[in-house]
C-alpha cells in the first residue's frame, strides 16, 4: 500500500476557482499555511493508521470499544491541534474557518483514512444542531466540548424495522422532570461507542409517549454516554457490525434503557425531530460526498504509483522491444486519466458547494442557499458512485495484484461502497433532487445553474485554440441536455414516471455539473498559460484533463436526457413477482 500525499496544488487551485479569496472570510496569505499543516497531519499521522484500521478493526469487550492501533493517538493529535472545530465559532473553541476550507480538510482526512474521518464528521452534525436549536443551558454544557473534540457526537436514527423509513422508529421517550428517559434499540451507529474521548453525545431520534404516528411524531434528544455528575448513562453498545469495509470505524448496535431508561434532553420542540435531523443529515451528506472524492484520490495515487513501477508487456507501437512500465499502455493510461478527471471534477463541484454554503451562512445569501440545497444530493450521490467506480478502476490497473489484499487497492474499493448507502441511499438522494429540489421551485435553482454554466462555456470560447472550442462545445451540449431533462421533470405530473427517471437525472446532473467545473478550470488554465503565470506544466495538465472529461466522459451520459423520459415504461412493466 502506498502512502498518501495530499495534492495541495490541486486543492489550492480548486479553492481559488470556488472563489474562496473573494469571499473575504479568511486572510488569503493564511490559506497555504493552514493547508500545509493539515496535510502534515493527514499524511504523517492519520494515513499510517489506514492499513491497521482495516486489518485489526475495532474490538468490543463488554460494552467498551477499543479502536484500531494508532487511532487514539491520531485523534489526540487532531484534537490538540484544534482541527475538530475548524469551521465553528471561536466562541466555543473553534477556529472559525470558512466551510470551503473545512471541505478541503475533510477531503484530506477522508483520503488519509476514511474510517477514521467519520468520527469528526459526525461530531460536526451534532455541533450544528445544538448551535441552531439547543437551549442556552445545553450550549453551555455541550458545545465547547464537542467543538474542540474533547467529546464526540453520534447520529442515531436507524432501527431494525426503521431504516430509510425513519417514521417507523419505535425508540420511546418518557418525560421525567427536566429530562426524558429513552428505551429502545438503534443499529448501524457509526462511532456509537469508542475510546477516543471520555464522553459521547448521542443525537437520538425517538417518539414521545402519545406523539402522532409517522414522521410527525418524532423528536430529537441529546443523550450523553456519561452524565454531568460523572456517572454512566443507561446506554451501551451491545455488538459491533461485521462490515464489508471501513473496518476501523466501530459501527455499533446500541441499547437504551436496559436499567430503567437513558437520560436525555430534548433538542428544540417535541415532534420536530425530522426537521432538526436534516441539519445533521445535510451537513453529513456533503461530507460523505467528499468521501467519494477521497476514495478516488487515494485510488489514483496508488494506481499511478503501481503503473509507474510495474513492468509488463511490450509497447503496442514497439512489438519487438523490451517490456515496459504498464503506464505506457494506452488502456492503463485511459483508466488513470479517468480517475484523475473524475477526482478533479468532484473536487471542483464540492468546493463550489462549500463556497455557496459560506455565502449562505456568513452573508445570508438566499440564492447561495438554494445552490447548496440543489447540489447537496448531487455531491453526495454522484461523487460516491464515482468513488466506487474509481476505486474499481484502481483495482483493475493493478490486475491480479489489485484483487489481493496485500496491495491495499481492494480496501479502497471495499471502503468506498458504504458512502453510497449511508446518510440516505443514493436512490433517496435522486428522489430528493427531483421531488424536493426541483419540485419546490419548479426548477428555478437548476436553471440558474444551467444559465451560469452556459456563461462559463461561452467565456471559454473566447480563447484561441482547439482545446477551448472542443470543451466549450461538449459542455454546452451537456447543458442543453440537462435543460431539456429538467423541463420534462418539472412538467411531469406522474409521480411514478418522475421516480423512475430520478437516478438517471441525478447522474446526468452530476456529469454535466462536473463538465461545467472542468470548463471553468480550463478557462483558468488557458488564462494562466497565455499570461505565462505559474507552472506551465501544471496548467497544461489541467487543460488536457478538462478536455478528456469533456470528450470522453461527458458525451456517453447525455442520452440519459432522452432515456429517462421513457424509464417508467419498462421499469414498471413487470409485476413484483415477475422480476
How does DSSP classify residue 226? B
Say if residues 39 and 108 touch (Cβ distance below 8 Å): yes
Beta bridge partners of 265: 222
Say if residues 233 and 225 touch (Cβ distance below 8 Å): yes
**Do the bridges between strand 200-208 and strand 172-176 make them parallel or antiparallel, or are there none, so unpaired?**
parallel
322: left (phi over 0), alpha (psi -120 to 50) or beta: beta
Measured CA angle at 296 (ends 403, 528), to 5 deg: 140
Q: How far apart are CA 53 and CA 71, in angstroms?
A: 8
Q: Cell triple for residue 460?
A: 471559454
Beta bridge partners of 172: 183, 207
Is 423 considered catalytic here? yes
Give the closest residue to 507 by CA, choosing from 454, 443, 452, 559. 559
Q: How far apart are CA 170 and CA 160, in angstroms?
A: 10
Q: How far apart are CA 185 and CA 188, in angstroms?
A: 10
DSSP string across 115-167: HHHHHHHHHHHHHHHHHHH--HHHIIIIIHHHHTTSSEEEEE--BTTBSS-GG
Q: At what angle do helices 366-398 and 495-530 cross, to 10 degrees?
A: 80
Give the closest residue to 138 by CA, choosing from 265, 26, 37. 265
Q: How far apart are CA 206 and CA 181, in angstroms?
A: 10
Q: How far apart are CA 195 and CA 180, in angstroms?
A: 26
Catalytic hit among 297, 423, 483, 527? 423
Measured CA angle at 25 (ends 20, 27), to 5 deg: 85
Q: How far apart are CA 195 and CA 396, in angstroms?
A: 37
How does DSSP classify residue 315? -
Q: Cell triple for residue 503?
A: 437516478
Q: Count CA atoms within 13 Å of residue 239 on its CB side.
A: 7
Q: How far apart are CA 543 and CA 523, in angstroms?
A: 8
First to last CA, the chain: 42
Residue 7: enclosing H or E segment and its boundaries?
none
Phi, psi of 60 (to 5 degrees): -105, 125
Q: How far apart are CA 286 and CA 275, in angstroms?
A: 18
The SS3 assignment for 24 reads: coil
Residues marked active site are found at: 423
Amino acid at each position: 500500500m502506498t502512502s498518501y500525499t495530499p495534492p495541495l496544488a490541486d486543492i489550492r487551485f480548486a479553492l481559488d476557482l470556488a472563489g474562496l479569496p473573494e469571499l473575504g472570510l479568511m486572510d488569503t496569505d493564511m490559506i497555504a499555511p493552514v493547508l500545509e499543516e493539515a496535510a502534515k497531519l493527514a499524511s504523517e499521522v492519520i494515513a499510517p493508521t489506514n492499513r491497521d484500521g482495516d486489518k485489526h478493526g475495532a474490538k468490543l469487550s463488554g460494552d467498551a470499544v477499543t479502536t484500531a492501533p494508532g487511532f487514539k493517538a491520531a485523534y489526540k493529535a487532531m484534537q490538540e491541534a484544534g482541527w475538530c472545530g475548524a469551521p465553528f465559532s471561536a466562541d466555543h473553541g473553534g477556529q472559525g474557518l470558512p466551510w470551503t476550507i473545512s471541505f478541503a480538510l475533510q477531503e484530506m482526512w477522508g483520503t488519509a483514512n476514511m474510517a477514521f474521518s467519520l468520527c469528526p464528521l459526525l461530531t460536526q452534525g451534532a455541533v450544528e444542531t445544538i448551535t441552531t436549536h439547543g437551549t442556552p443551558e445545553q450550549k453551555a454544557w455541550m458545545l465547547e466540548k464537542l467543538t474542540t473534540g474533547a467529546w464526540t457526537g453520534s447520529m442515531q436514527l436507524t432501527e431494525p424495522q426503521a431504516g430509510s423509513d425513519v417514521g417507523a422508529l419505535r425508540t420511546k421517550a418518557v418525560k421525567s422532570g427536566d429530562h426524558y428517559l429513552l428505551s429502545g434499540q438503534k443499529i448501524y451507529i457509526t462511532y456509537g461507542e469508542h475510546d477516543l474521548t471520555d464522553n459521547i453525545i448521542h443525537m437520538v431520534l425517538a417518539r414521545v409517549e402519545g406523539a402522532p404516528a409517522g414522521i410527525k411524531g418524532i423528536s430529537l434528544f441529546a443523550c450523553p454516554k456519561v452524565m454531568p455528575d460523572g456517572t454512566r448513562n443507561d446506554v451501551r453498545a451491545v455488538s459491533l457490525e461485521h462490515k464489508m469495509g471501513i473496518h476501523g470505524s466501530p459501527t455499533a448496535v446500541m441499547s437504551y434503557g436496559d436499567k430503567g431508561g437513558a437520560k436525555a434532553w430534548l433538542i428544540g420542540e417535541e415532534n420536530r425531530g425530522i426537521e432538526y435531523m436534516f441539519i445533521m443529515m445535510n451537513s453529513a451528506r456533503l461530507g460523505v460526498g467528499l468521501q467519494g472524492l477521497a476514495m478516488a484520490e487515494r485510488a489514483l495515487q496508488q494506481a499511478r504509483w503501481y503503473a509507474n513501477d510495474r513492468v509488463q508487456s511490450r509497447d503496442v507501437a514497439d512489438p519487438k522491444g523490451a517490456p515496459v512500465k504498464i503506464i505506457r499502455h494506452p488502456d492503463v493510461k485511459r483508466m488513470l486519466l479517468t480517475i484523475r478527471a473524475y477526482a478533479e471534477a468532484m473536487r471542483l463541484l464540492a468546493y463550489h458547494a462549500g463556497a455557496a454554503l459560506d455565502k449562505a451562512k456568513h452573508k445570508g445569501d438566499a440564492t447561495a442557499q438554494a445552490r447548496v440545497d440543489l447540489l447537496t444530493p448531487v455531491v453526495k450521490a454522484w461523487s460516491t458512485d464515482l468513488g466506487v467506480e474509481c476505486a474499481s478502476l484502481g483495482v483493475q490497473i493493478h490486475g491480479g495484484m489489485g484483487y489481493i489484499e496485500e496491495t491495499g487497492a481492494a480496501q479502497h474499493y471495499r471502503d468506498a461502497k458504504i458512502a453510497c448507502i449511508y446518510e440516505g441511499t443514493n436512490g433517496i438522494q435522486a428522489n430528493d433532487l427531483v421531488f424536493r429540489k426541483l419540485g419546490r421551485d419548479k426548477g428555478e435553482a437548476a436553471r440558474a445553474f444551467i444559465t451560469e454554466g452556459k456563461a462559463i462555456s461561452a467565456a471559454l470560447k473566447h480563447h484561441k485554440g482547439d482545446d477551448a472550442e472542443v470543451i466549450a462545445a461538449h459542455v454546452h451540449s451537456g447543458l442543453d441536455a440537462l435543460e431539456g431533462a429538467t423541463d420534462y421533470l418539472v412538467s411531469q405530473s406522474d409521480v411514478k414516471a418522475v421516480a423512475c427517471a430520478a437516478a438517471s437525472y441525478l447522474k446526468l446532473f452530476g456529469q454535466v455539473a462536473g463538465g461545467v467545473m472542468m470548463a471553468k478550470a480550463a478557462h483558468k488554465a488557458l488564462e494562466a498559460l497565455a499570461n505565462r503565470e505559474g507552472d506551465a506544466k501544471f496548467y497544461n495538465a489541467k487543460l488536457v484533463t478538462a478536455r478528456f472529461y469533456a470528450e470522453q466522459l461527458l458525451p456517453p451520459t447525455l442520452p440519459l436526457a432522452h432515456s429517462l423520459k421513457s424509464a417508467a415504461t419498462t421499469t414498471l412493466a413487470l409485476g413484483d413477482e415477475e422480476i
